[in-house]
């Protein structure tokens, strides 16, 4: 049953937005939403597990998670009209997968931010950098080891500031402000 439901939106390369004649997936599969949500959850967990659990690809984990999350957001918007039930399914599944390795994703997200906020990241504009930081904050919301993230982020921030390796003091202030907003202090 699940494979029949998903046949309209799944192809060999992965999930793609449904491109039916002026109707979204929810209209086509009316009454099958629970099965479709279960199939999507299973897909997210299976695909995400291959990203998070592969220790050899730790270097690219955050980039891969950002790409995966962007594709899920696109599917949610284009195929499910931002349906709240599907939004919650994607959120819950993504939160599960990002915390499979306890503290490692938190550490890697902090390291990814350090890399982006360093002086050597001159190839991007201020707006592109802010956009990337906002996307990384979405991942930050999902991690349970926020204290681990905080420890690595503080250490990296201190190094950047003391050694003068920061791309921009304004960007550093902006990131700290965003983290304060997220954490409530």
Intervals of CATH 1.20.1310.10 along the chain: 102-184
Percent of the chain's residues with pLDDT above 90: 58
Question: pLDDT at position 3, please?
Answer: 37
What's this model's pTM, rounded to 2 decimal places? 0.80
**Per residue in 131-182, pLDDT tens?**
999 999 999 999 998 999 999 999 999 999 999 998 888 889 999 999 999 8
Residue 52 CB contacts under 8 Å (≥ 6 apart), including other chains: 61, 65, 97, 98, 100, 101, 105
pLDDT of residue 119 exceeding 80 = no
Indicate the pLDDT class of residue 30, thresholds 50, 70 and 90: low
State the fold for domain 102-184: 5 helical Cullin repeat like (1.20.1310)
Whether 38 and 94 have beta carbons less than 8 Å apart is answered as: no
Q: How is residue 129 written in tokens? A: 């950098």
């Amino acid at each position: 049953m699940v494979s029949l439901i998903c046949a309209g939106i799944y192809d060999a390369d992965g999930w793609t937005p449904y491109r039916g004649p002026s109707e979204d997936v929810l209209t086509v599969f009316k009454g099958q939403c629970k099965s479709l949500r279960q199939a999507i959850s299973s897909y997210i967990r299976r695909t995400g597990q291959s990203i998070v659990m592969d220790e050899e690809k730790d270097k690219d984990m955050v980039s891969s998670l950002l790409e995966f999350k962007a594709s899920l957001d696109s599917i949610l918007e284009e195929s499910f009209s931002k349906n709240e039930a599907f939004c919650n399914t994607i959120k819950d599944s993504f939160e599960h997968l990002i915390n499979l390795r306890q503290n490692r994703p938190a550490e890697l997200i902090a390291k990814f931010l350090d890399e982006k906020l360093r002086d050597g990241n001159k190839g991007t504009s201020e707006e592109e950098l802010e956009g990337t930081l906002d996307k990384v904050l979405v991942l930050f919301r999902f991690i349970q080891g926020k204290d681990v993230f905080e420890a690595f982020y503080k250490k990296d921030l201190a190094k950047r500031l003391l050694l003068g390796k920061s791309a921009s003091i304004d960007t550093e202030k902006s990131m700290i402000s965003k983290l304060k907003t997220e954490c409530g202090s």
